Structure 1
Amino acid sequence: MGNIIQLDDSYFVAPQLVEVDLVSLKSQGFERIINNRPEAESDDQPSGDSIRIAAEALGMEYMSNPIDLSKLSQEQVDFQRDILLEDKKTLAFCRTGTRSSVLWVLLENGKGGDSGRLMSYVSGKGFDLSRCSEAMAPLLKV
């Protein structure tokens, strides 16, 4: 498992997970896993179902909200927001953690956070969102 990056009190992001990572995540107190990676994006990627089965076997909630930045929509942002309505320690993952970070920026911006500051904060955590700016622009609130 790659680095787990904390973005707020209960929202963490990480690169691609595999089933065996879930035991460690459970022991760290994670209650919910959000898969933001589209299915079959690469040959070495485990299926979402295999991760869901492993998470649920450990008593963890599993949700799938696959993100393709070229098709990013407000509906996907709203779905992620709805998943997070119940406050639980959550790990969102995708190939590198970037898409899960983009969603966090959009969610926080929707609550009134300054998009520039949010993007700088996430960049300071190691995620370069500059390549995502075009996809995010239509969804950012002023």
Structure 2
Amino acid sequence: MDIRKIDDDYSVSGQITVADIETLKSLGFRSIVCNRPDGEEPGQPAFDDVAAAAEAAGIEIAHVPVGGMGLTEQAVVGMVDALDELPRPMLGYCRSGARSTRIYEAAEHMRG
């Protein structure tokens, strides 16, 4: 896992796995947002599997996928909701971390 800190409350990484959840918990993450659609590439862990592991570890999680259409208004609103509702610090993940960075920036802009 290559975790990149965006600010004090939000970091991003590429794809995480069920096995990464305990490490994320030990690093102090209190919530996770998945910005990757299920089935984007073969072998990708399913969101439901990652979510079950996160919830079992006491980490809140949301799925706000950003697919081939790029950042849609619906996705940005979903990220705003996640930022308003989930505890921090938060980790956003996608394939590389780029979409999670862009959607965070767009959501923060929308939030004013």
Unpaired segments of 5 or more residues in structure 1? Answer: 113-142
Larger relative contact order, structure 1 or 2 (CA cutoff 8 Å, min sep 6): 2
Compare 51-60 and 64-73 and name the one that shifted more.
64-73
Aligned to 2:81: 82
Question: Runs of 4+ in structure 1 displaced over 4 angstroms?
Answer: none
Aligned AA for 2:17?
Answer: V
CA distance in 1, matches of 2:29, 2:60: 9
Deviations 1:60-117 (A, max 9, x none): 10100111142531121011011111441100000001110111221233355xxxxx
Aligned to 2:93: 93
Aligned to 1:22: 21
Contact 1:69 1:99 in 2 (8 A): no
Aligned AA for 2:106?
Answer: L
TM-score (norm 1): 0.73
CA distance in 2, matches of 1:69, 1:10: 27
- Identity over the aligned pairs, expressed in percent? 37
Aligned to 2:107: 107
Please identify the structure whose Cα radius of gyration is greater.
1
Contact 2:80 2:111 in 1 (8 A): no
TM-score (norm 2): 0.91
Contact 2:80 2:110 in 1 (8 A): no
CA distance in 1, matches of 2:48, 2:62: 10
Deviations 1:18-70 (A, max 9, x none): 01111000001001011100001111201111100100010010100111142
CA distance in 1, matches of 2:111, 2:22: 33
RMSD of Structure 2 on Structure 1 (CA): 1.4
CA distance in 2, matches of 1:62, 1:104: 15
CA distance in 2, matches of 1:64, 1:38: 8
Aligned to 1:54: 53
Aligned AA for 1:21?
Answer: D
